[in-house]
Amino acid sequence: MSQVVAPPPMDSTPLGAQTLGVDLRGVTVSVKDVQAWAASIAAPGWADASGWAGAAAEAHAHAATCFARRLDVLEAVLDRVVTAADRFEDRLVRLRQWRLDLVAACATVDDAGRAELRRRIAAWTRAYAAAEAEIVTALCGVPVDVDRPDTARLTGELRGLLHAPVALAAWWRRLSRREQEALTTEHPELVGNADGIPVTDRDEANRARLAHDGGRLANADDVQEALDDYAPLIDPATGRALTELIGYQPTLHSGDGGVAISFGDPDIADQVSAMSRA
Amino acid sequence: MEPTPDPFAVIELDVPYAVLREARDRWAAAADELDRCWRRLARASTSGLSAAVTRAVEEFRDPCADELKALGGQAQDHADAFVLYGGQVVLADREQAERLRALLPWAEHAAQVVRR
């Protein structure tokens, strides 16, 4: 009687994708920061060369205008890649759980169930390959995006819902992943500390801002050090880092800063206990 | 007949000194930020990723980091173009004054370059 071969190990892990996403988001936050300054001093209509009519030659020679446009292209590319990395991470979390179920099934399958289990393992293998192919395509063939999220409008809506967590949660769920990621890297300080936004998304925003602040704010370096101490801890349910940075306000309390770290995801936990330092 | 340029004339850009200093500082800050950016991107982790994904990350990362590095270098060149001394900007000629004007906020794009 032939045995069922267990699904192959995952060469790409949720933690690997999560770490890549954190690094890319940190870079994107900084690029957006510089781009926002350049855009603020650029010629009117800087984003659209046709809007330079009348002063086109001057605008072409205007350094901040050219700089803002060049950074804007880079920003669009980074937004796309961050979104792809985020999707990859989510898919790997699901694939990991699916694989664990299949490995467990291999140990208990009877003769009647072998064919069906082989079919499920083949489906898993195809899904894993598709997830890898998608991130590779996104990284290698990043097109210039002509239909980008309207972050100015989204930011206004987000600000209007900051004190209404239930409504904010519903609004956030309706956004596309690209819109969520664009907001996360444009305003990590809002997304990362907004009650109503899922903890994993807040963690992504706060880690991005933490990466941006690293080396500049002592509080940021302290938080990073604390997260690094817990980095070896992996959430057994997801394969991601166990810690979630669910609050990060480095200049709060007259500069003392405010930070909230969870172990595991309190959004889906059966029980939650909280500790705070007086 | 064109008048002979006065070799002792001083070229001035009709922009408040505070604006010039602010522009220089902001270009320098942008250079620092972009320098940090490309270094951070160049170090972006590929641990825990398959060989194929790692290759793709590297193919994306390297040219993107190069672009950030180039933009950072450009910002630093712009910051260095402002030679400020004793509460004034030092200008060698009209060409330099016009170049400097192009580095200021668009609100100053019509600032006059004057010879005194």
**Residues B101 and B113: beta-carbon distance below 8 Å:** yes
Are A20 and B44 in contact (CB < 8 Å)? yes
ipTM of this complex:
0.87
At position B111, the amino acid (one-letter code) is A
Alpha-carbon A198 to chain mean position: 12
**Residues A95 and A128: beta-carbon distance below 8 Å:** yes
DSSP conformation letters of A185-210: HH-HHHHTT-TTS-HHHHHHHHHHHH
Q: How far is A214 from chain B (nearest CA, A)?
A: 10
A168 interfaces chain B, CB cutoff of 8 Å: no
The per-residue pLDDT for A2 is: 62
> E strand or H helix at A169, and its extent?
helix A165-174
B94 interfaces chain A, CB cutoff of 8 Å: no
The larger pLDDT score, comparing residue B99 to residue B56, is at B56
Residues whose CB is less than 8 angstroms from the CB of residue B40 and which lie 6 or more positions away in sequence, other chains included: A23, A26, A27, A30, A211
Find tokens 């590779």 and name the residue.
A136
B95 interfaces chain A, CB cutoff of 8 Å: no
HSE-up (13 A, CA, CB side) for residue B28: 11
What are the angstrom distances between the C-alpha of A154 and each of A26, A160, A260?
A: 20, 10, 25
The per-residue pLDDT for A127 is: 97
Are B60 and A42 in contact (CB < 8 Å)? no
Which pLDDT tens digit goes with each residue over B12-52? 788 888 888 999 999 999 999 999 999 999 999 999 999 99
Q: State the 10-residue block means of pLDDT for chain A, 278 residues long.
A: 83 96 96 94 76 60 87 92 96 97 92 93 97 94 69 94 95 95 95 96 96 89 93 92 94 86 90 81
Q: How far apart are CA A176 and CA A224, in angstroms?
A: 29
Which pLDDT tens digit goes with each residue over B80-108? 988 877 677 777 777 888 888 889 998 88
Residues whose CB is less than 8 angstroms from the CB of residue A105 and which lie 6 or more positions away in sequence, other chains included: A113, A117, A120
Q: How far is B42 from chain A (nearest CA, A)?
A: 10
Are B49 and A142 in contact (CB < 8 Å)? no
Of A16, A44, A64, the CB nearest to B49: A16
Helix (H, G, I), strand (E, B) or coil at A138: helix
**Residues A12 and A92: beta-carbon distance below 8 Å:** yes
pTM: 0.87
**Residues B104 and B15: beta-carbon distance below 8 Å:** yes
Tokens of residue A230, six digits: 């817990």
A39 interfaces chain B, CB cutoff of 8 Å: no
A63 interfaces chain B, CB cutoff of 8 Å: yes
Helix (H, G, I), strand (E, B) or coil at A119: helix
> E strand or H helix at A176, and its extent?
none
> E strand or H helix at A45, and its extent?
none
Residues forming a β-bridge with A245: A261
Position B1 pLDDT exceeds 80: no
Residues forming a β-bridge with B115: B11
* Number of cross-chain residue pairs from A and B with Cβ atoms under 8 Å apart: 114
Q: How far apart are CA A97 and CA A92, in angstroms?
A: 9
Residue among A65, A88, A66, A76 at smallest CA distance from A185: A76
